[in-house]
Amino acid sequence: MDTPIVTPVAAPLHARFSALRDALATTVIGQAELIERLLIALLADGHLLVEGAPGLAKTTAVKELAARIEADFSRVQFTPDLLPADLTGTDIWRAAEGRFEFQPGPLFHNLLLADEVNRAPPKVQSALLEAMGERQITVGRSTYPLPRLFLVMATQNPIEQEGTYALPEAQLDRFLMHVRVGYPEAGAEAQILQLARERARREQLGTPPVAPMLTQAELFAARAAVLDLHLAPTLERYVVEIVLASRDARRYDPQLAARIAWGASPRGSIALERCARARAWLAGRDYATPEDVQAVAPDVLRHRLLPSYAATAEGWDGDRLVHALLERVPLP
């Protein structure tokens, strides 16, 4: 196993992120992978789609993260009657002044939780996804830039599909990662009960606000450090080869190629490389490894691979396709 290496410049920043991860782990019990993926998204400047049953701390995770960094937070419950203006904001007529004034919507916060994003109609989903991709919104004839720090965590409930609007594959591609959250283990659930009791007691006494642990300047410096992290040319070719194989896997496995109707775009290559860099940096290394690529590949690619009709009938999904690709593409 490689010994973690931290460059002198990155060491203080890495210590800040380690402290942030430890603090989140004390309030979001049993969801270490979700915490890591949130931090990776912060470092890679991307957005998360999180799928999991209700009550698995998805909302708590992003709220606790927002409380511990220099950022403001907003939560929007997506419903069938939601309008695009409920997200973007709207022009309000000021009669006394004889002019319109723009009233910003929730999209102008640094961290936005889009709860049950598949319950809103396509027009609302498009407004959200356009903001994610362009980092700006247009209302009337005016265009408004969004904050430099802008992260969307959208959630989906996998057990209720009645009255929902599935996100099209082209829009899913806007998300850096699609993370699936499972139930905690028995030991973690016992800790959750204890934490809930302590939190209820603190709320009765009046809980002081949590002091931020990370400034935006430190976050942007960490992003720069992630981009400077060493990625060997052979590892870069490995990333590209995985994505190329998702489009045409015939030289590895003709049967697997027939099971993939549509592979990942170049945006998938970029996301896979950025997430592997961020994971390596969080681990305290100044270089990325094949293990970093393989660890993030399922979350980066599962929503970017479309199984064929025959494969779907056989029980194949994006998850299974990604793991099959990782088994067949040789390591560098």
* Backbone Cα Rg of the chain: 21
pLDDT band at 198 (very low <50, low <70, confident <90, very high): confident
Within 13 A of 251's CA, how many CA atoms are on the CB side?
8
Domains 31-205 and 229-328 share a fold: no
Multiple choice CATH, 31-205, 1.10.600.10, 3.40.50.300, 3.40.50.1000, 3.40.50.2000: 3.40.50.300
Confidence of residue 141 (pLDDT cuts 50, 70, 90): confident
pLDDT of 4 higher than 50: no
Of the listed ranges 45-54, 133-142, 276-285, the one predicted with least confidence:
133-142
Q: Using one digit for the tens of pLDDT, what is the confidence trace for 21-59? A: 999 999 899 899 999 999 999 999 999 999 988 888 888
3-state secondary structure of 75: strand
Amino acid at 65: L
Task: Give the N- to C-terminal CA distance of the chain in Å, as an integer.
Answer: 17
pLDDT recorded at residue 163: 61
92 membership: H or E segment, kind and range: strand 89-94
1 CB-near residues (< 8 Å, 6+ apart): none
% of the chain exceeding 90 in pLDDT = 60
pLDDT band with cut points at 50, 70 and 90 for residue 9: very low
**98, pLDDT greater than 70:** yes
The structural domains of the chain, with segments of one domain joined by +, span 31-205, 229-328
Q: What is the pLDDT of residue 169?
A: 79
Q: Would the pLDDT of 291 be above 70?
A: yes
Percent of the chain past pLDDT 70, that is, above it, reads 95
The pLDDT tens digits of the residues spanning 108-137 come to 999 999 999 988 888 898 889 889 988 998
Which class is domain 229-328?
mainly alpha
Res. 6: pLDDT tops 60: no
pLDDT in tens, 53-86: 888 888 889 989 989 999 999 999 998 999 999 9
Contact 228, 321 (CB under 8 A): no
pLDDT of residue 5: 47
Question: What whole-number distance in Å separates Cα of residue 161 and Cα of residue 97?
Answer: 47
Enumerate long-range contacts of 128-136, CB under 8 Å, 24 or more apart: 128/87, 128/152, 128/154, 129/167, 129/171, 129/174, 131/87, 131/88, 131/107, 132/47, 132/174, 132/175, 133/174
Q: Out of 9-18, 132-141, 214-223, 283-292, pick the least confident.
A: 9-18
